[in-house]
A and B are shown apart, each in its own frame.
Chain A
Amino acid sequence: GESVGLHLPTLSVQEGDNSIINCAYSNSASDYFIWYKQESGKGPQFIIDIRSNMDKRQGQRVTVLLNKTVKHLSLQIAATQPGDSAVYFCAERKSGTYKYIFGTGTRLKVLA
């Protein structure tokens, strides 16, 4: 979950297309995962979560996929809208601990 590079990775998608944002998590013992959305000038906002006993979880227009084998998490946003433009973070936590580890964010830009 360390930040790399000088610039935030950016994903540009056309309005109406589906977006897929990826995240590699660091601790194989983590068993709870969250996706957050951070709009400019605001704090992170919870989108969806998933526990390690699941591979997939769906919300409204969002789906989270978890691949524990390769320690990979993805967030799929269906029919991306301009209001989805933000920085997206994944976070992981191990049961019994209070420590959340955030991944490097991804900036999503929605093109009209």
Chain B
Amino acid sequence: DTAVSQTPKYLVTQMGNDKSIKCEQNLGHDTMYWYKQDSKKFLKIMFSYNNKELIINETVPNRFSPKSPDKAHLNLHINSLELGDSAVYFCASSQDPAGGGETQYFGPGTRLLVL
């Protein structure tokens, strides 16, 4: 019954590695998002996709590459991981905000620790 799911829940890796985080939603939503939450709990949007098209790309290093194979999935691939990438990454989805569907549903988060 999980609406927005993410895998893995925890990810511990070495600097310089490449890793991916996966997100799936079963709500039939058109829009999906990636957020980064830092150690101070500050939440910042990174990317947003609407119907598999990238619509928001917020000043994120190009080491981060989102991919949306279909409307229900939005994955995040990170190359050459750095210490500063350590954070909690949240996936979210909503109906198309342009159509009035603004409520976002968040996944449980992926806790990334780069050593």
User: Looking at the complex, which of B63-71, B77-85, B96-104 is the stretch in contact with chain A?
Assistant: B96-104
Q: What residues of A have a CB within 8 angstroms of the CB of B102 in the complex?
A: 32, 34, 49, 93
CB proximity of A17 to chain B, nearest CB, Å: 24
The answer, yes or no, to whether A87 is at the interface (CB within 8 Å) is yes
Q: Check if A98 sits within 8 Å of B50, measured CB to CB.
A: yes
Q: Check if B43 sits within 8 Å of A102, measured CB to CB.
A: yes
Q: Check if B108 sits within 8 Å of A34, measured CB to CB.
A: no
Q: What residues of B have a CB within 8 angstroms of the CB of A2 in the complex?
A: 42
Query: For the side of the interface on A, what is the size category?
Result: 20 to 34
The answer, yes or no, to whether A43 is at the interface (CB within 8 Å) is yes
CB proximity of A105 to chain B, nearest CB, Å: 5
Query: For the side of the interface on B, what is the size category?
Result: 20 to 34
Q: Check if B48 sits within 8 Å of A8, measured CB to CB.
A: no
State the CA gap A3–B48 with chains docked (Å).
21
Contact with B along A3-25 (1 / 0, CB 8 A): 10111100000000000000000
Q: Check if A43 sits within 8 Å of B107, measured CB to CB.
A: yes
The answer, yes or no, to whether A69 is at the interface (CB within 8 Å) is no
Q: What residues of B have a CB within 8 angstroms of the CB of A101 in the complex?
A: 45
Q: Count of A-B contacts with CB under 8 A?
A: 67
The answer, yes or no, to whether A59 is at the interface (CB within 8 Å) is no
Q: Check if B106 sits within 8 Å of A43, measured CB to CB.
A: yes
Interface of A is mostly: loop
Selected from A5, A41, A42, A100, the residue in CB contact (under 8 A) with B104 is A100
Selected from A89, A98, A104, A105, the residue in CB contact (under 8 A) with B97 is A98
Q: What residues of B have a CB within 8 angstroms of the CB of A45 in the complex?
A: 106
Contact with B along A45-62 (1 / 0, CB 8 A): 110010000000000000
Interface residues of B (CB under 8 A from A): 4, 31, 33, 38, 40-45, 48, 50, 55-56, 58, 90, 92, 97-98, 102-109
Please give 14 more A-B residue pairs, beta carbons under 8 A apart, in addition to A8-B41, A43-B109, A100-B104: A3-B42, A6-B40, A7-B40, A34-B102, A42-B109, A43-B4, A43-B107, A44-B90, A45-B106, A49-B103, A87-B41, A89-B43, A93-B97, A102-B44
